[in-house]
Chain A
Amino acid sequence: MKEVAIIGIGMTKWGELWEKSIRDLTTEAALKCLDDAGVDKVDTITVGAMSGGLFNGQEHLASIAADYLGQRFVPATRVESACASGGLAVKTAYMEVASGLAQYALAIGVEKMTDVDGGEATFALATAADQDYEAFHGITFPGLYAMMAYAHMEKYGTTLEQLAQPAVKNHTNGSMNPNAQFPFKVTLEQVMNSTKVADPLRLLHCSPITDGAAAVLLAPVEVAKKMNKPYAVIIGIGHATDSIALCQRKDLCKLDAVEQAAQRALKMAGKTIKDIDFAEVHDCFTIAEIMVMEALGVVEPGQGGPACMDGLTALDGKFPINPSGGLKSKGHPVGATGVAQIYETVSQLRGEAGDRQVKNAGIGMTQNMGGSGASSITHILEARS
């Protein structure tokens, strides 16, 4: 297999973008990415999107992407793994380049979620759960993670303060991200007193509904070397699945797919978690960030909550998590999230992250999760120049 580099990145501003359609967002992010790379034409396009059908009444998003990028006739594929669709798009583009099928592979992640009202959006998101045996009972995604939160509190003594802390930290980081949907700080008290959504989770424990897109361009390392500027190399990829229904997991406090995907990525890279300098993880809810920290091996099981309070994962901590602001502050246009995690990681590795730059960022990890942990994709990126 060929070594694969990321030679271009682009993303739109994220938020409630009433004036922009899904095709506008797709095209804007992709053009920024191609401009960043200085590449006009690509060999293949992969679009990660969860549900153009339910959010916009529009499927066949890969052909729209090729068409509106002025690249008709290019092979284009849309991939879906719920909220991990973006990570899957990057993995798919990686396979195209690594196998030698394509030289320039463009991966785009997009979701336009505000074309429907909140109830319809909640329904659309809930299709990532088991329709017949979970959504049938009126469960929501906040509800599924809320059940994990109560189980984690019962088993490990995780407190409501600990549960709120990742939101405070991620909003602090996001306040320095000009592309973030909510680029402002929040206090522990604001999080703990916000409106209840699904007990014990409140509004400020939850990632928002967002419109946005991100894109990255992949090419063989030999191509990147000729560009005379910093780039990132994908040195590890891991991908795993788990039961679609949360209730069928033996331990509700453990994200097995996240652990397995991370272990596979680390093995491929020949690294351990101690070699990783920072990570962008899937904090769709604050409890998810706590449980992901444990599944990645950043801390022991049950220690995620206390570690958040100790500042382990802060921007100046020993293991910075979500320097971008994470899903919580940056926003969570579901299909775009996995690609935007790569965008942020490459920005950090190139030393272009401005005020939120992680010091000595040499190796970064991404973790993108689908459903209640029924799929997870991890990429490990290394800085090169």
Chain B
Amino acid sequence: MNMHVPRHWREIPKRYRMEAGKCKKCGSIQFPARLICPDCSAREFETIRLSGKGKLTTYTVIRVAPSGFGDLTPYAVAIVKLDEGIQVMGQVCDCDPETLKIGDPVATQFRRMNEEGKTGMLIYGFKFVPDLGL
């Protein structure tokens, strides 16, 4: 489906910089940031940047893709528990998806996600790669 540019543009702080909200009352971290804390109902947050480093909680290898992702198959998508203790979803690339295991360490990189519509608008975001500790 073709969306107008602002549909993507307004997500840039989250997609490019992994900006999250940290509750000023209970300290819980929310990604994406929210207006009200689901843990303590407070409404004041500070903006923080997530480390992007963590370990695989679970994953899958997508063989039948939704429209827009067909060229990538097979590709891995994982839920990653970040060092901050919260879980986020993302693709895992630069690896053989068949060799992934729960618990594997990963780090994020800024990547091209796909292109959209007749204009070929490029969509960017974060993907995970194996964390080689370099």
Nearest A residue to B81 by beta-carbon distance? A247
Fill in one digit per residue for B31-66: 1 if any A CB lies within 8 Å of its CB, else 0: 110000000000000000000000001111111111
In the complex the two chains form, what is the Cα distance from A143 to B14 in whole Å? 23
Q: Chain A, 123-149, contact with B by CB distance < 8 Å: what is the 0/1 string? A: 100100000111111111011001110
Interface assignment of B95: CB less than 8 Å from any CB of chain A: no
Residues of chain A contacted by B91 (CB below 8 angstroms): 137-138
Name the interface residues of B56-79: CB closer than 8 Å to any CB of A: 57-70, 72, 75, 77-79
Rounded to whole Å, the gap between the CB of A170 and the closest CB of chain B is 21
User: Please, how many angstroms separate the alpha-carbon atoms of A142 and B63 in the complex?
Assistant: 10
**Interface of A (DSSP majority class):** helix
Report the Cα distance A248→B14, complex, angstroms.
Answer: 16
Contact status of A150 and B70, CB under 8 A, knowing A123-B1, A246-B89: no
Supposing A137-B89, A139-B77 touch, asked if A123 and B58 sit within 8 A by C-beta, the answer is: no
Assembled-state Cα–Cα distance A120/B65 (Å): 10
Contact (Cβ within 8 A) A143 B58: no
- Type the 1/0 row for B76-92, where 1 means its CB is closer than 8 Å to any CB of A: 01110000000111110
Query: Nearest Cβ in chain A — how far from B12, in angstroms?
Result: 12
Complex contact B63–A198 (CB within 8 A) = yes
- Alpha-carbon distance A239/B92, docked complex (angstroms): 35
With contacts A143-B77, A246-B79, A247-B88 known, is A136 near B113, CB below 8 A?
yes
Closest chain A residue to B78, Cβ basis: A147
B123 to chain A, nearest CB (A): 8
B102 within 8 A of A: yes
> A137-B91, A246-B89 are contacts. A151–B69 as well, Cβ < 8 Å?
no
Contact digits for A233-257, partner B, Cβ 8 Å, 1 yes 0 no: 0000000000001111000100000
Q: How far is the CA of A146 from the CA of B89 in the complex (A)?
A: 14
In the complex the two chains form, what is the Cα distance from A4 to B85 in whole Å?
47
Please tell me the number of chain A residues within 8 Å of chain B, measured between CB atoms: 35
Q: Is the CB of B62 within 8 A of A120?
A: no
Give chain B residues whose Cβ lies under 8 Å from the Cβ of A133.
14, 31-32, 88-89
Q: A270 interface residue, CB < 8 Å from B?
A: no
Residues of B close to A136: CB separation below 8 A: 15, 113, 125
Chain B, interface size: which category?
35 or more
- Measured in the bound complex, the distance between the Cα atoms of B70 and A161 in whole Å is 29
**Given A133-B89, A246-B89, A138 and B67 touching (CB < 8 A)?**
no
The answer for the CA separation of A262 and B15 in the assembled complex, in Å, is: 37
In the complex the two chains form, is A147's CB within 8 Å of B102's CB? no
User: What residues of A have a CB within 8 angstroms of the CB of B31 in the complex?
Assistant: 133
Cβ of B104 under 8 Å from chain A: no
* Cα distance A134–B11 in the bound complex, in angstroms: 13
Closest-CB distance, A20 to chain B (whole angstroms): 25
Do A123 and B66 form a contact, CB below 8 Å, given A138-B75, A247-B89? yes
Is the pair A198, B66 in contact by a Cβ cutoff of 8 Å? Answer: no
Residues on A with C-beta less than 8 A from B11 are 132
Q: How far is the CA of A248 from the CA of B32 in the complex (A)?
A: 10
Contacts of B69 in A (CB 8 A): 138
Chain A min CB distance to B11 (Å)? 6
Give chain B residues whose Cβ lies under 8 Å from the Cβ of A137: 77, 89-91, 113, 125
Task: For A122, give its contact among B66, B72, B87, B113 (CB under 8 Å).
Answer: B66
- Name 14 interchain pairs, CB-CB below 8 A, sorted by A: A122-B66, A122-B67, A132-B32, A133-B14, A136-B15, A137-B77, A138-B62, A138-B91, A139-B89, A140-B66, A143-B62, A147-B58, A198-B60, A248-B87
Residues on A close to B: CB < 8 A? 118-120, 122-123, 126, 132-140, 142-143, 146-148, 150-151, 154, 195-201, 245-248, 252
